[in-house]
Amino acid sequence: MSSIIRLADEHDSNVILEIYEPFIKNTSITFENIVPSEKEFIQRMRKIQQQYPYLVYEINQKVVGYAYADMHSDREAYKWSVHYSVYVEPNHQSKGIGKRLYNCMTKILKLQGYYNAYAVISTPNIQSENFHKAFGFNLIGIMKNAGFKLGKWHDVSWYYLPINKIISNPMTPKTIRNITNIQDIINETKEY
């Protein structure tokens, strides 16, 4: 069995959307209610990939999971902070795939010059909460009854992970295209 992590491309959009779709339709893990079209999903990917890492995990040339970072907020003062997301097919969960994707993404974001990462988890979601805590995220707050999906209200927990040591005069983060050794970082993170 061969496995790799690589940067996602547009050809992955349909498989990534297939992984994401059951989470939209059957869970409150995402508060998205309508499955986006493939065209819309490609546009989302393109927008994210202009600045941030968008990674896929393949086993035997089949994408079984993905992770990406995105803008925490569009306000200028937040530009050193990112939001993390990871989705893994249910039959491949709890096998270290999410951890490998996050390890790789964190190394890339550190080189880009980001300082803070946040994960927003609808609760209860014990598996995701435990995963993020084990990765080093700390719970920093809970928004009570923040979303209504599948016939009930859900709290949202906010988790925080420091990426870089805070300094008083940070430079603007580099785009993903300005990181020249992406494949080396990916190769280093293949195993954990």
114-136 mean pLDDT: 95
pLDDT for the residue numbered 142: 97
Average pLDDT, the chain: 93
Contact at 8 Å (CB) between 85 and 19? Answer: no
What are the pLDDT digits (tens) for 138-164? Answer: 999 999 999 999 999 999 999 999 999
pLDDT in tens, 51-67: 999 999 999 999 999 99
User: What is the pLDDT at residue 12?
Assistant: 95
Question: What domains, with CATH codes, occur in the chain?
Answer: 3-175 (3.40.630.30)
The yes-or-no verdict on residue 191 having pLDDT over 60 is: no
Do residues 108 and 75 touch, judged by C-beta distance below 8 A? no
The pLDDT of residue 180 is 84
Mean per-residue pLDDT for 7-13?
Answer: 94
In sequence order, what are the beta bridge partners of 93? Answer: none
Sheet containing 116-123: give its strands across: 3-7, 54-59, 62-71, 81-88, 116-123, 152-162, 138-149
User: How many Cβ atoms from other residues are within 10 Å of residue 39's Cβ?
Assistant: 9
pLDDT at 21 over 60: yes
Confidence of residue 192 (pLDDT cuts 50, 70, 90): very low
